[in-house]
Amino acid sequence: DAKTTQPPSMDCAEGRAANLPCNHSTISGNEYVYWYRQIHSQGPQYIIHGLKNNETNEMASLIITEDRKSSTLILPHATLRDTAVYYCIVRVAGAQKLVFGQGTRLTINP
């Protein structure tokens, strides 16, 4: 199974870009990278996903390296409301679940 590695915690100043790294060195060619976040006591929230190309939506950008062994989620202008646990997930081929690891606890400081 492809696994992900994320730093347990990060800090970022309000208004700056938050760059959250994720390593997934055993990812297979047809596995997607997903990012979710969970704000305290709420259900997880889908952010973005990608396969090979960089992706951008209204919430964030996802940069995937050419060898697909790592990716970075970018929140371009972080706000206090972006404080949350961010999960990088690789969908396990053929499996019937999302596997949530421990994620990165991102704290946005005023």
List the x/- string, 54-83, binding to another protein by CB under 8 A. ------------------------------
Q: How far is the CB of 91 from another protein (least distance, A)?
A: 7
DSSP 3-state assignment of 80? helix
Per-residue b or e along 60-94, where b marks 16 or more CB atoms closer than 10 Å to that residue's CB = bbbbbeeebebbbbbbeebeeebbbbbbbbbbeee
Please identify, using beta-carbon distances, which residue of 42 and 67 lies nearer to another protein: 42
Which of 23, 49, 55, 59 contacts another protein by CB under 8 A?
Answer: 49
Neighbour-count burial of 57, counting CB atoms closer than 10 A to its CB (0-12 exposed, 13-18 middle, 19+ buried): exposed
To the nearest whole angstrom, how small is the minimum distance from the Cβ of residue 15 to another protein?
A: 25
DSSP 8-state symbol, 5? B
Q: Does 97 bind another protein (CB under 8 A)?
A: yes
Question: Does 53 engage in binding with another protein (CB under 8 A)?
Answer: no
Given 19, 44, 63, 105, the residue binding another protein (CB under 8 A): 44
47 with 1: CB under 8 angstroms? no
Query: Least distance in Å: CB of 100 to another protein?
Result: 4
Structure tokens at 25: 């060195």
